[in-house]
Amino acid sequence: MFTKQLNNKWLASLVLAAGAMAAAAQAAAATIEDVLGRKVEVELPAKRVVLGFYAEDYMAIGSEQAFDHVVGLSRETWEGWRPASWALYTQHRPGLKDIPDVGEVEAQTFSVEKVLALKPDVVVLADWQYKGLGLDVDRLEQAKVPVVVVDYNAQTVERHVASTRIIGELTGQQARAEQIAGDYQQAIVQIQQRVKAANKPKPRIYVEFGNKGPAEYSFTYGKNMWGAMATMAGGDNIAAPYVEWWGPINPEQVLASKPEVVVFSGTESGKSATAMLMGQGVERATAVERLQGFTQRAGWSELPAVKNKRVYAVYQGASRTILDASMVQFLAKALYPDLFADLNPEQNYLDFYKKYLPVQPQGTFTASLAE
């Protein structure tokens, strides 16, 4: 009887040891180099993640199952900034609403205490969030919480690819990440090779966030987001000498620069009743009507872009993401219509959802005054 009890205890110990070994095999310490070149030790794949930004990217690269391990979310960057997208995803996956909110960096509501209470394996931040948090990052690291920085806002091939691979490592989806990163690189290389081979003068382009409507100029973009994408697509960004990242530009400077292509970005809502509307649930006729309103600004009738109906609209939510290769395609087609007549950028954008995401948006994501 005593021997039998010992054998049972020995077998139980073996089972526990095997379970511990399996758990260790599933999550092992590894060193990740983030986009800032920081070496960060993380248990991979991460089981408890606080996500600051890039929720769609995290889901596309890591698969929907990656959100089974997201224990905290900066909810304002999704629900507040893109409410129609949030509604679409929460209708599909209601449990997203139950993920604790840790606050938002720009609004200064981000709470280190809330993050620590969630006992995360890792906190994933956008570059702008990491910089905005300042000393609060030190508090997280002093509490032995790894912080990994990714960056799609820079709109460079290097950072897009690096960020995608990092998310692939964090979620254990390296092969999926390589496929997505490879598709992105291929799309950008195709654009740049065609533009280079054509050897044409770079068309002057102006991009503005149309959230304030025609009556008030909103901010434009210099080195990042739509500014970087316009440059990547082969355009001469008229704002680049005057705006470093994003911010307002003197309206007189826009008129003096005589842009040949003008692009307004928009979301599903805006600060004005005449704001540029784009995105989920937006009718194409409505988008084109709003776009037309911007051409009525004082002095704009003389702009080459307006005279030639080369005025376009894009979805703001389709920037600063691995999904935005199609938006670079759209800008390239607006700049060089003869070089990219074979591309259907909006369909390519929607096809990414079909391939990598569990929802399918319906609405208007690109538009043209010529429609």
SS (H, E, C) 78-130: CCCCCHHHHHHHHHHCHHHHHCCECCCCCCCCCCHHHHHHCCCCEEEEEHHHH
What's the angle, vertex CA 54, arms to CA 282 and CA 63, rounded to 5? Answer: 95
Q: Per the domain annotation, does 219 fall within a domain?
A: yes
Q: Is residue 223 located within the same domain as residue 358?
A: yes
H helices, E strands: number in the chain: 14, 15
Torsion of the alpha carbons at 347, 59, 246 and 103, rounded to the nearest 10: 140
Q: Is residue 141 located within the same domain as residue 230?
A: no
Q: Per the domain annotation, does 352 fall within a domain?
A: yes
Domain end among 153, 172, 191: 172
Torsion of the alpha carbons at 298, 238, 155 and 149, rounded to the nearest 10: -90
Q: Per the domain annotation, does 87 fall within a domain?
A: yes
Q: Per the domain annotation, does 80 fall within a domain?
A: yes
Q: Is residue 234 located within the same domain as residue 157?
A: no
My answer on whether omega of the bond before 100 falls inside 30° of 0, hence cis, is no
Q: Is residue 156 located within the same domain as residue 227?
A: no
What CATH number corresponds to the domain at position 328?
3.40.50.1980
Q: Is residue 219 located within the same domain as residue 113?
A: no
Domain end among 120, 152, 172: 172
Residue 331 carries which DSSP code? H
Q: Per the domain annotation, does 333 fall within a domain?
A: yes
Q: Look up tokens 């003389």; give the residue.
A: 302
Q: Per the domain annotation, does 181 fall within a domain?
A: no
Residue 363 carries which DSSP code? E
- pLDDT value for 27: 56
Q: Is residue 39 located within the same domain as residue 166?
A: yes
Supply the angle between the helices 174-198 and 225-232 in degrees, to the nearest 10: 60
Q: Is residue 165 located within the same domain as residue 273?
A: no
Residue 40 carries which DSSP code? E
- pLDDT value for 245: 74
Q: Per the domain annotation, does 13 fall within a domain?
A: no
| Separation CA 249–CA 211 (nearest Å) | 15
- Which three-class secondary structure state does DSSP give residue 313? strand
Quickly list DSSP for 223-277: SSHHHHHHHHTT-EETTTTT-SSEE---HHHHHHH--SEEEEEEBS--SSTTPPB
Q: Is residue 341 located within the same domain as residue 230?
A: yes
Q: Is residue 348 located within the same domain as residue 204?
A: yes
Q: Is residue 243 located within the same domain as residue 329?
A: yes
Bridge partners (DSSP) listed for residue 205:
237, 261
Q: Is residue 250 located within the same domain as residue 136?
A: no
Q: Is residue 216 located within the same domain as residue 357?
A: yes
Contact by Cβ (8 Å): 208, 217: yes
The residues of the chain scoring below 50 in pLDDT are 1-25
Residues of the domain holding 206: 200-368
Total domains present in the chain: 2
Q: Per the domain annotation, does 359 fall within a domain?
A: yes
